[in-house]
Structure 1
Amino acid sequence: MSLNVKSTVKLNNGVDMPRFGLGVWKSDNATATQSVRWALAHGYKAIDTAKQYGNEAGVGEGLTKGLAENGLKREDVFLTTKIFNGDEGYQSTLDAFEGQLKRLQTDYVDLVLIHWPVTDKYNETWRALEKIYREGKARAIGVSNFDINRLRDLMKHASIKPVLNQMEFNPLEQETDIRAFCSKHNIELEAWSPLGHGEALTNPQIENLAKKYNKSTAQVIIRWELQSGIITIPKSTHEQYIIENADVYDFELSDDDIALINGLNLDKRSIWYGDFQWNGNHDGNVDAVDQWDN
């Protein structure tokens, strides 16, 4: 499979999206700014953030500076953000999204996702995203963390089909059923936590493959995801790893090695609906935007 850092996939609305980019979860604003600047300097074409991460302002600053520093235009970078659980609903989504654009220092995003399918609200949230899309404030709209039942329900009520479902995906959590459903309906699958919260990085079989290809375990995993047709957005706050994560285009995993990693699947999700208060679990996580001192 011929791939490079600029490789794209055509979404079901005709927009080309990079297959590889930078994630910024758990980065404060200052760190996100620097990470985005490094990523753009080293050829990255996609950046993924969310209101819940609390670093949209940092990403916006990094994007503005990174474009200027590297002679790039806004259209050279594919920017994704997500609707916060606490903002879901029709008018509340529209109102909140305007603030997100201001923090990101842009008048449009390339992709906006519903971050989680908040019970009894996600269909109205989707209606708001359809309006945002029609107004040209987003080039594409999609979802994140939608299981098959919720995705099927959304599609039943929607007038525009989602282009993408961003899911936890890595060698230990391969979302087999959801991946098959998305493929059937021409919806791309994008990986969050593509390195498996670090656990997959120390898997002995992946370590053996890293030795075989003279690559890091992270590089082997990223290459496996790219060869498997998954859009991937590994997070790093260190320039060395930002460079290394993108250095996956000078080797190709064999079919047998792809099959070996496919066989590591444990369906081991780190969090799911029952962990959240919005799904009726009063002991679940509080839905809040991560706040940072800066």
Structure 2
Amino acid sequence: AVKDAIEIGYRHIDTASDYGNEAEVGQAIAESIKAGIIKREDLFVTTKVWPQKADAQAKALQSIHESLTKMNLTYLDLVLVHFPWDDYVGSYKGCEDAFHQKLVRSIGISNFNEQQTDNLVSKATVKPANDQIMSNPKAESAGYLKYSHSHNITVTAYSPLGTGSLVKNPKLMAIGQKHNKSAAQVMIRWQIQRGVIVIPKSVKKQYIKEDFEQYIGHKIMGFIDKVCESNSETDFETERQKLTPMIKLNTGYEMPEIGLGTWQAKGDPVKQAVKDALEVGYRHIDTAYIYENEKEVGEGIHAQIAAGVLKREELFITTKVWPNGSNQKKALEMIHHSLKQLNVTYLDLVLI
């Protein structure tokens, strides 16, 4: 799995002393380096030390040395205290020792809440760089994320797919299907756009590749929190309609950044195209007086309004007036004609 991930393009590998797999992880890294796929400096390796009740500081430093030996590395990029258990402060001080000895480039914590983090920071000489916590749309940890960012502590999400339980979530699947992506890819991108490092786990190359090729949009992901919290299909549809990125015009109105163009499309095909576009989530339809298809565009719009897919006020309609041989009066007449053909009481945008 590690070799496949590195070949695909992953450059961050997460393990732990407690996982019992550091030797195999190190072997895969060494083989990938030998094959010329990467250099050691291209890779970010994270491991974790298990907190101890007694001699925690010395045992943490010893654990780091053992991890280095098992993975055949001269340094680690990040070492975390695995849980806020037993003498976790002593374990962290052992990580500080490794940091000062340049065995570790950064140190941090895992599964800590705000109070535990505050307690640790008050006794530490090196501030934690990262906290690795469970985080996914059903356990989003928004409060801790806000806290950590305000304290300049990065967050890594483990179980970002809900240990696989959310990959079949119908609401997440619907968002993904709209963009030809899987629910897993949507969830990973959501975390990245929240400023969260994400470490999905898989041993199958197919899923490793899918997770890496996550959705690359930039605005639509902010609604996953509401979508996953809601049990109402009505609420889901309301949130889904908000997914289209908007740009504000100088009139104060917002215009969807993506719309359906209808030039050279006429008759039943354009009517069906408008219906299909509205069903998948488009909220901007562009037509023109000269296209001679406003009637069919209007029929497509009203078919979906009647079906409950959207309301008129959720749709942005653009049309155009033809300047050749026209004047002020004729332009106004064309707009009235377009309103009648489209069967609407107002237009969102009219262009010359």
The two structures have a TM-score, normalised by structure 1, of 0.74
Q: Does 1:261 align with 2:225?
A: yes
C-alpha distance after superposition, 1:183-241 (max 9, x if no partner) = 11010111000111112112111011111011111111111111111100111111111
Distance 2:52 2:114 in 1: 23
Q: Does 1:90 align with 2:57?
A: yes
Distance 2:226 2:110 in 1: 22
Dislocated runs of 4+, deviation >2 Å: 85-88, 260-266
Q: Does 1:131 align with 2:97?
A: yes
| RCO comparison, higher one (Cα < 8 Å, 6+) | 1
RMSD (Å) for aligned C-alpha atoms = 1.7
Q: Which amino acid aligns with 1:183?
A: H
Distance 2:118 2:206 in 1: 41
Distance 1:145 1:57 in 2: 24
Choose which of 151, 164, 178 in structure 1 pairs with 2:130: 164
Whose radius of gyration is greater, 1 or 2? 2
Work out whether residues 174 and 265 of structure 1, in 8 Å CA contact, stay in contact via their aligned partners in 2: no
Q: Are the structure 2 counterparts of residues 86 and 155 from structure 1 closer, same or farther at C-alpha, using a change threshold of 3 Å?
A: closer
Choose which of 208, 211, 226 in structure 1 pairs with 2:177: 211
Work out whether residues 99 and 105 of structure 2, in 8 Å CA contact, stay in contact via their aligned partners in 1: yes
Distance 1:220 1:109 in 2: 30
* 1:41 CA displacement: 0.8
Q: Does 1:100 align with 2:64?
A: no
Q: Where do 5+ consecutive residues of structure 1 fail to align?
A: 1-34, 267-294
Choose which of 22, 26, 32 in structure 2 pairs with 1:66: 32
Q: Which amino acid aligns with 2:116?
A: R
Work out whether residues 52 and 91 of structure 2, in 8 Å CA contact, stay in contact via their aligned partners in 1: no
Choose which of 1, 4, 13 in structure 2 pairs with 1:47: 13
Pairing 1:185-200 to 2, within 5 Å after superposition? 185-200=151-166
The two structures have a TM-score, normalised by structure 2, of 0.62
Work out whether residues 60 and 92 of structure 2, in 8 Å CA contact, stay in contact via their aligned partners in 1: no
Distance 1:75 1:177 in 2: 34
Distance 1:71 1:205 in 2: 38
Q: Secondary structure at the match of 2:157?
A: strand
Q: Percent identity?
A: 35
The residue number in structure 2 matching 1:75 is: 41
Q: Secondary structure at the match of 2:214?
A: coil
* 1:260 CA displacement: 3.3
